[in-house]
Structure 1
Amino acid sequence: MKKINKYVAFSLILCFGTFILFQGDVSSEEVNIVGSTSIQPVCEDLVEEYRKNHSKSEISVQGGGSNMAIKCVNAGIADIGMCSKQLNKNYDFTEYELGREGIVVAVHPSNNISDLTTEEIKGIFDGNVTNWNQLGGENKPINVFVREEGSGTLDAFKTTVMNKTSILNEAIVLNSQGSIKQSIEQDTSSIGIVSFSYLDENIKAVSVDGTYPSEESIADGSYMIQRPFLLLIKEDSTNETQNFINWLNSSQAKEVLDENRIIRGV
């Protein structure tokens, strides 16, 4: 209970700290966006494009995490919250889905493992499978890389794969997807989870239950490890907030989302 209280207190301090950062020369056109660091780069690109034809609009984008988005919008401190996980309770705000993002189970390119079942992945991440030779690979210990608790990436993975089973204590916890990708690139025994947008020739995605992560398999839902990219909006949102949300349905916004590999459902 002490840990929970400390976490809540710390979150509120960060939330109100964000509020202070947003203050200053505030105009009626200002929109404050806060939340998921996974969505933050996408939102920054969207805002940059939006302001090309809305030069008077002042839109601030800051990180802080999905939980921070929920707290700040719920408290009326932020106009829009960026949330990269499915909400598990009802709040007094509207959800706008930017799209969906696949969560890739990635290994080093030299790894001869190309397909894993959900149960095998779960076994790796809960510590029951500790060597690649248990899965038909080389005789090497498996080094597991994950994000920190509260990460939308980790939450999506735990919800779809782990089924309430805990991640092994020996997993190496890193605070960014870039750090996980770099670790996988450098460690031939590694496995980790990163967003689909991070996938390139330097890391290797494995198929999950026979389905490879692709734009098509994420869009049609056949690739199961994915999460929504949500914007949370206050019920009594400002006109400029609504203008920005409405603009997200434009062709210009779609181009930005495509460039960031954010996938719309079919």
Structure 2
Amino acid sequence: MRKNFKFKIAAVCGLLAILIGLTGCANNNSNKITVVGSSAMQLLAEQAGNDYRLSHPDSNIVVQGGGSGTGLSQVQAGAVEIGTSDVFAETQKGIDAKKLQNHLVAVVGIVPIVNKSAGVSNLSKQQLSDIFTGKITNWKQVGGKNQTITVINRSKGSGTRGTFEGLVLNGKKPIQAQEQDSNGTVRKIVSSTPGTISYISFPYANDENIQKLSIDGIKPTNKNVETNRWHLWSYEHIYTKGKPNKNVQKFIDYMLGSKVQNDLVPKLGYISIDKMQVERDSNNHVVQK
């Protein structure tokens, strides 16, 4: 009888331990925030997520790329808590922007880059358009070396591509070209392959073997982005499906707080929303603040 009693007590204790463990797991899962989307924003989201975990040890921030289109479709489907994007949700086919909540986190410049062997450091906007539409095919046509131009484009779901084509090609069809879905991969290819040209976000344009191009004599700097002298820039958006839950809202508040905006954003090469002297809407109309 005594043995049976001890056995029952042990069984109850074991069951309680399992339940406590499951509760703990549930709590950990409820604190998980998955961030998917823009590779341009991935650098900022990853570092902010790492810093956030230091002060919120019970949090679990998982950051992935995939492109702005993926981020928007995934958050709309409810598959992730946060979708990041370089473009407004209103501009994307298949996305119901009314069901999403937009949070502007930062601004990022976009710069055309070439392998240094091309011998070019400045192009006009028309020359840049002609290269990406196939009218100009050799660097000697724009003052560079006698070298064939190889275009590296971004994948169709890329917000950086959408911004670049909207502001440079003005509706013209780009040539068929190799496509890559991340800033980091594009940087590596252009850095190591003579004759190549592409475009990436400012924070990734830090390889000594690539040449950042000026456009019409205007240099790609954050100061020029802030005044819109440099037209190639986009907002970094955080989208949630409707009103975010408490844990997601806390992380968004952290992203919009002074530690990230005043320290991390400029450190990584992004621009705080507060620094911008202009605003841009989803139709690419720019007005003074």
- Mapped pair 1:257 → 2:265: yes
1:172 to 178, 197, 217: 178
Q: Output the CA distance in 1 between the equivalents of 2:240 and 2:26.
A: 19
Alignment pair present for 1:224 and 2:231: yes
Could you tell me how far apart the structure 1 residues matched to 2:157 and 2:259 are?
32
Amino acid at match of 2:230: Y
- Within-5 A mapping of 1:10-89: 25-27=25-27, 28-89=30-91
Counterparts in 2 of 1:143 and 1:93: CA distance versus 1, 3 Å: same
Structure number having the greater helix percentage = 2
Deviation at 1:130, TM superposition (A): 1.0
**1:184 partner amino acid:** V
1:34-183 map, 5 Å: 34-89=36-91, 90-169=97-176, 171-183=177-189
Instruction: Name stretches of at least 5 consecutive residues in structure 1 with no aligned partner.
Output: 1-23
Unaligned runs of 5+ in 2: 1-23, 92-96, 278-289
TM-score by length of 2: 0.76
Q: 2-side partners of 1:59 and 1:220: how far apart?
A: 34
Identity %: 29
CA spacing shift, 1:108–1:77, aligned 2, 3 Å: closer
- Which of the residues 193, 196, 204 maps onto 2:211? 204
TM-score relative to the length of structure 1:
0.83
Higher relative contact order (CA 8 A, sep 6+): 1
Q: How many residues align?
A: 242
* Structure 1 CA distance for aligned equivalents of residues 219 and 152 of structure 2: 20
The residue matched to 1:145 in structure 2 has which SS?
strand
- In the alignment, the residues of structure 1 paired with residue 216 and residue 242 of structure 2 have an alpha-carbon distance, to the nearest angstrom, of 41
| Structure-2 separation of matches of 1:176 and 1:81 | 16
Amino acid at match of 2:266: D
Cα pair distance change 1:176/1:79, threshold 3 Å: closer
Contact kept, 8 Å, 1:49 with 1:252, in 2: the verdict is no
Structure index of larger Rg: 2
Structure 1: 4+ residue segments shifted above 3 A: none
Q: Which residue of 2 aligns with 1:248?
A: 255
Q: Secondary structure at the match of 2:89?
A: coil
Query: Does the CA contact (< 8 Å) of 1:35 and 1:81 recur in 2?
Result: yes
| Separation in structure 2 between the aligned mates of residue 44 and residue 182 of structure 1, nearest angstrom | 20
How far did residue 161 of structure 1 move?
A: 0.7
The answer as to whether partners of 2:155 and 2:181 remain within 8 angstroms in 1 is yes
Q: Which amino acid aligns with 2:192?
A: Q
Matched letter for residue 38 of structure 2: S
